[in-house]
Amino acid sequence: MTVAAQFQFHDNVLHAEQVPLTALAERFGTPLYVYSRRALRDAWQAYADAVRDRDVVVCFGMKANSNLAVLNEFKNLGSGFDIVSGGELARALAIGADPAKIVFSGVGKQEWEMRAALQAGIKCFNVESEAELERLAEVAAQMGTIARVSLRVNPDVDAHTHPYISTGLKENKFGIAIEEAPKVYQRAQQLNSLKIVGVDCHIGSQLTEVSPYLDALEKLINLIDQLADLGITIEHLDLGGGIGIRYVDETPLTPTQLLDAVFERLNARGYGKLQIVLEPGRSLVGNAGVLLTTVEFLKHNEAKNFAVVDAAMNDLLRPTLYEAWHSVEQVVKPASDTPVRQYDVVGPICESGDWLARDRQLALRQGDLLAIMSAGAYAFTMSSQYNTRPRPAEVMVDGTDIHLVRPRETLESLFSSELTLP
């Protein structure tokens, strides 16, 4: 099993930095999200080391984890933000993010979201359709301002990842076909309320090799050449995010490996001075968090053994959504006389799809504390209140210090805004 760098065993108890996870479960209850501040900083430093003196803007893809404490940490480290909604814009502005380092992605931007982003003065809209381009131009004209735009182009590159997190194929909903892009750029050039500043691309998530990026990059450079022939120059090339993390035995590429390969290709094609924008999400936060859960019951059936825990698919949707693998660690090393069995780790929700891990070799007793690892990305942000279950608290550990960064929801809060009929 995989244990992240800032989550290690000391005296047979799993710790977050210098704090035993048992103490956090006792104090805050379970389910509980626990993040490591050091892990966030270490992940950011990997990008800082990769950037060096090159013109690169790193914008955290905040859909991975939008807790204000996490966002504020990255802002203080120098990050910009990749947003996909007006709500995420509001979160970024709430922690004092620099609007000039915010890029707005997403296929379905509404007028109010465009207005809010224009009023804030963001770096760029990543436009994903001709219809969106026309709407944005109209909104900007009504406001008497100029919208800075790039087109998200779809290069039809296979990212070799799960279909649900692949975004760069022709059959995906994202972006504009790269063959159509020159025509759409020409239309953008005709609209006085728009300023073309970039080319954008994002081919998928949890990428573990550099070749898909380079396949896409070659097509993007060819597009930039075509645009130059049309008299259209750009200020930046946005390569999206997508660098994967280690969930079990993956060996993901590093930010340095990616940027070195990208700039080698750019230099060879005469674009070495072009600003590069990156939108990492999972690689900055994925291994910085765990989900703590308590074993409520053990069921030993003829066909299966089940560990029924107090966390569920509404707390961590990834396994149910696309059979994602998360390592499961017993927070306290089991006694030697506890039998090892193969368990499915399942939650209390009334759905057969409510599972967190399958076929795991565990030596369990009722009441044991488990840590679902690599739960810092696409975990709490995808959570819900299904079955009227309050969402967990979130805690940030900093050395020996413990910070509650989001309290557990109360039952009353779940329906306090609802009304009955007269």
Binning pLDDT at 50, 70 and 90, where does residue 1 land? very low
Binding-site annotation, residues for substrate: 282, 318, 322, 351, 378
Interval 318-375: pLDDT, tens: 999 989 999 999 999 999 999 999 999 999 999 999 999 999 999 999 999 999 999 9
Q: What number is the average pLDDT over the span 391-401?
A: 98
Which residues carry out catalysis? 350
**pLDDT greater than 80 at residue 166:** no
Domain boundaries in the chain? 7-36+286-415, 105-280
Interval 75-97: pLDDT, tens: 999 999 999 999 999 999 999 99
Binding-site annotation, residues: 242, 279-282, 318, 322, 351, 378
Contact at 8 Å (CB) between 199 and 234?
yes
Which residue type is seen at 44?
A: W
Contact at 8 Å (CB) between 289 and 283?
no
Of the candidates 194, 246, 209, the residue with the CA atom closest to the CA atom of residue 2: 246
Q: Classify residue 169 as exposed, middle or buried by CB count within 10 Å of its CB (0-12, 13-18, 19+).
A: middle
Instruction: Name which residue leads in pLDDT, 249 or 257.
Output: 257
Range 7-36+286-415: architecture per CATH: Beta Barrel (2.40)
Contact at 8 Å (CB) between 231 and 194?
no
CATH of domain 105-280: 3.20.20.10
Contact at 8 Å (CB) between 355 and 392?
no
The model's pTM is 0.94
- B/e letters for 283-319, b = 16+ CB within 10 Å, e = fewer, are bbbbbbbbbbbbbeebeeeeeebebbbbbbbbbbbbb
Of the candidates 385, 403, 384, 386, the residue with the CA atom closest to the CA atom of residue 395: 403
Neighbours of 233 (CB within 10 A): 10
Binding-site annotation, residues for pyridoxal 5'-phosphate: 242, 279-282, 378
Interval 217-251: pLDDT, tens: 999 999 999 999 999 999 999 999 989 988 888 88
CA distance 79 to 194: 26
Q: Do domains 7-36+286-415 and 105-280 have the same CATH topology?
A: no
Look at residue 169 in the predicted model and tell me its pLDDT: 46
